Amino acid sequence: MRLTPAHLDMATAALRAVLPLEYPADSILRHFFRDNPKLGANDRAFIAETVFGVLRHRFFLESAVEIATPRSLLLVYLAKFQGLNLRELIPLASEAEAKWLTGIKAVSVESQLLAVQAEFPDWLMEKLHGFMEDNEILDLGRSLQHAAPLDLRVNTLLATRDEVIASLAKDGIEGGATPYSPIGIRLAGKPAINRQELFLSGKVEVQDEGSQLLGYLLAPKRRDMVVDFCAGAGGKSLMLGALMHSQGRIYAFDNSEKRLNNLKPRLKRSGLSNLYPQLITNENDIKVKRLTGKIDKVLVDAPCSGLGTLRRNPDLKWRQSSQSVEELKRKQAAILSSAANLLKPGGRLVYATCSFLPEENQEVVQNFLDCHPRFILLNCSELLAQQKIPLDTGTFLQLSPRLHGTDGFFAAALELSGTEA
């Protein structure tokens, strides 16, 4: 696509709307596109990719310009990270802009401070230094500066992975099997999959491969009673239902009516008859308590900082803070404790986050185990091996973009023993 002054102006306007970061960037962009209905699909793709690119590289961009305005950040991003040469940019820039763009082209990212190279704010750098070396922080930061691939999950009630890959190929969409999830497909590029018949007929859902692996850790059986404790829009609930061949029963709990409403059309497409969305006020809702001691498997995809999703949501590093993580830790502990009460003896609970901070992960799990001696920690690698998934990250499931090509996920599997401690 040839860049025009109009493209630059619209991308600048979109970035100006996003940068206060009072709300999630993707939500602000949706409103921006709704307010500018004449933008074509290619225009929207350019604006979205550019805005998120600026957010991924914001620390370097702000260090490279004297006055950080949406337009100056955008121009530097296009020059440094999108590979546009000065011949392409200078016709779109003023004389003054062209002058400093020439100088910025020569600035090396590698010459910057570690925080700028890793693109992490001070509060996060302080936390990372508590358990990582500088080279590990840099590796993590760089891995989160790339756009995430588009992963699909095949609804095995309606299709096989091979059938879906073949059908996508007929439509000119290239995709291949994910390396770990037996029902995942990773697409090349970002086609508008929500317009494809495979999506509209419920044969595929968009779901990161790391998220799919949580279902295999839980490994529900056909006639199990299952709870997805923080179901959100239900992607993992739908997967669990398919793994159970639409038998047994799944309760999808969430305290957001909007999120559960987003599940309804997905549930209708899926062909499942064993999934029951349930709106709750909090983890102590009567709908939760009435299931005490009755559930075989519980999935707790806990509210978290979301830092493992920075490839998709780079704005989170400014919208989270040390204070918000402290609040989340209290919430995670309360939810885990309440969810654990649902299990039958011998039942399994999987606690998961999309964070790489030990205080949201290992520490929450260890504190829970210290207070609940009837629970034992299972080995996630062994559980995945039982599902014929050759992925060994140790006792805990710990996924990263650099090593696994997924979002940054953490999971622990716990089992309630059948006897009193």
Provide the residue type at 293 as one letter: G
Do 183 and 212 touch, CB atoms closer than 8 A? yes
- What's the CA gap between 290 and 262, in Å, rounded? 25
230, 304, 354, 380: the active-site residue: 354
Do 186 and 150 touch, CB atoms closer than 8 A? yes
Instruction: Tell me, letter by letter, the H, E, C secondary structure of 286-348.
Output: HHHHCCCCCEEEEEEECCCCCHHHCCCCCCHHHHCCHHHHHHHHHHHHHHHHHHHCCEEEEEE
| Of the candidates 247, 238, 230, 245, the residue with the CA atom closest to the CA atom of residue 269 | 238
Calculate the alpha carbon distances from 222 to 131, 225, 253, 274, 296 in Å. 41, 9, 20, 10, 11
- Is 354 part of the annotated catalytic residue set? yes
- What's the CA gap between 64 and 97, in Å, rounded? 13
- Enumerate the β-bridge partners of residue 147: none
- Residue by residue, DSSP assigns 154-191 as E-TTT--HHHHHHHHHHTT--EEE-SS-TTEEEESS--
Do 394 and 381 touch, CB atoms closer than 8 A? yes
Which residues are known to be catalytic? 354
